[in-house]
């Protein structure tokens, strides 16, 4: 006959187990990150309430039983599958960044870690995954990257990063024997605009000029604010004779801009150019020197007239 003490002992152990489960669940619920348990096939078996906020869910019933890959951007799935495979082999996954999907299919950036949950015998209980939204941080990083490579006022390349990108294109052109044209633009009478209408109006004129350059040249061409009132463009794969067509298009764009904006002044440019082709290969600094000198001659000619 079983001893009464056996039942008491079993009851005490069961109570302790229940208390420990409540204790650990309360800790999981207090954590700021989403906690998800998935199986090797990707099925979701448990999650805390922070998961609702992360994925824009109303109830965990919308989440449990689903496959984790339903909430991962398709472009990320191969990488995530590979990483989870390593976790299943007892490797730890620390602070990996993935693009996930909310319930409404809106993508967002998350920082994810993963750990194998050991089970009885050789079969693990699953993989514990922690995740937190890092969209704001990624947005700030992107803004900093843009600030580092672009001119803050116009959104064009800045001088340093134009030089880096142009050098790479020139190396490629030398290998492939492609034709490149560098154009050096100097805005006419920007100082007069600043003096007569204020620097804020001068800034608007510079932004309008940048927009005109963008609409004239292709997305593959490299356009930059070189500094002050100067702009540079490295036009790629430009056959001989076609540069005049591009310049005519730019002049027409400026005419429409001047007419549409009804400004008290006109935006115009002096421009010089230098060509790099198979017969006359040039380095960037030489092209800049030639284009700048040609631009200066144009500007001097306007002053003489």
Separation between Cα atoms, residue 284 and residue 273, nearest integer Å = 12
φ, ψ for residue 205, nearest 5 deg: -65, -40
Q: Is 207 exposed, middle or buried (0-12, 13-18, 19+ CB in 10 A)?
A: middle
Q: Do β-strands 230-236 and 180-187 pair in parallel, antiparallel, or remain unpaired?
A: antiparallel
The reported pLDDT for the residue numbered 279 is 75
The reported pLDDT for the residue numbered 225 is 96
Separation between Cα atoms, residue 99 and residue 159, nearest integer Å = 33
The reported pLDDT for the residue numbered 92 is 85
CATH no., domain 150-304: 3.30.70.270
The reported pLDDT for the residue numbered 278 is 72
The reported pLDDT for the residue numbered 296 is 92
Query: Which runs of consecutive H residues, i.e. helices, occur in 150-198?
Result: 159-176, 190-197
What does the pLDDT look like over 201-224, one tens digit per residue?
Answer: 999 999 999 999 999 998 889 999
What does the pLDDT look like over 13-29, one tens digit per residue?
Answer: 555 545 556 656 766 77
The reported pLDDT for the residue numbered 8 is 44
Do residues 206 and 269 make contact, with C-beta atoms less than 8 angstroms apart? Answer: no
- Give me the residue spans of the domains in the chain: 31-140, 150-304
Positions in the chain whose pLDDT score sits under 50: 1-2, 4-9, 17
Q: How far is residue 159 from each of residues 200, 215, 228, 289, measured CA to CA in Å?
A: 22, 20, 11, 15
The reported pLDDT for the residue numbered 93 is 87
The reported pLDDT for the residue numbered 3 is 52
Q: In what order do the strands lie in the sheet with 34-38?
A: 44-47, 34-38, 126-133, 107-117, 93-101
Do residues 100 and 80 make contact, with C-beta atoms less than 8 angstroms apart? Answer: no
What kind of architecture, by CATH, is found in domain 31-140? 2-Layer Sandwich (3.30)
The reported pLDDT for the residue numbered 29 is 78
């Amino acid at each position: 006959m079983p001893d009464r003490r056996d039942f008491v002992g079993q009851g005490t152990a069961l109570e302790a187990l229940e208390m420990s489960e409540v204790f650990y669940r309360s800790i999981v619920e207090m954590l700021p990150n989403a906690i998800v348990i998935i199986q090797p096939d990707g099925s979701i078996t448990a999650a805390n309430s922070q998961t609702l906020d992360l994925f824009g869910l109303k109830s965990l019933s919308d989440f449990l039983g689903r496959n984790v890959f339903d909430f991962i951007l398709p472009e990320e799935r191969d990488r995530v599958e590979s990483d989870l495979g390593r976790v299943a082999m007892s490797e730890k996954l620390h602070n990996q960044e993935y693009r996930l999907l909310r319930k409404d299919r809106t993508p967002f950036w998350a920082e994810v870690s993963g750990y194998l949950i050991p089970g009885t015998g050789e079969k693990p209980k699953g993989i514990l995954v922690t995740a937190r939204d890092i969209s704001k941080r990624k947005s700030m990083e992107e803004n900093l990257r843009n600030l580092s490579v672009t001119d803050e006022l116009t959104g064009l390349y800045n001088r340093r990063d134009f030089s880096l990108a142009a050098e790479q294109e020139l190396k490629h052109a030398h290998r492939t024997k492609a034709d490149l044209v560098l154009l050096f633009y100097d805005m006419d009478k920007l100082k007069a605009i600043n003096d007569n209408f204020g620097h804020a109006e001068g800034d608007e004129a510079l932004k309008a000029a940048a927009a005109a350059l963008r609409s004239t040249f292709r997305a593959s061409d490299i356009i930059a604010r070189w500094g002050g009132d100067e702009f540079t463009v490295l036009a790629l794969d430009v056959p001989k004779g076609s540069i005049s067509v591009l310049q005519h298009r730019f002049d027409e764009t400026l005419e429409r801009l001047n007419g549409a904006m009804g400004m008290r002044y006109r935006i115009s440019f002096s421009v010089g150019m230098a060509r790099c082709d198979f017969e006359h290969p040039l380095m960037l600094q030489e092209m800049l020197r030639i284009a700048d000198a040609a631009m200066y001659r144009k500007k001097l000619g306007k002053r003489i007239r």
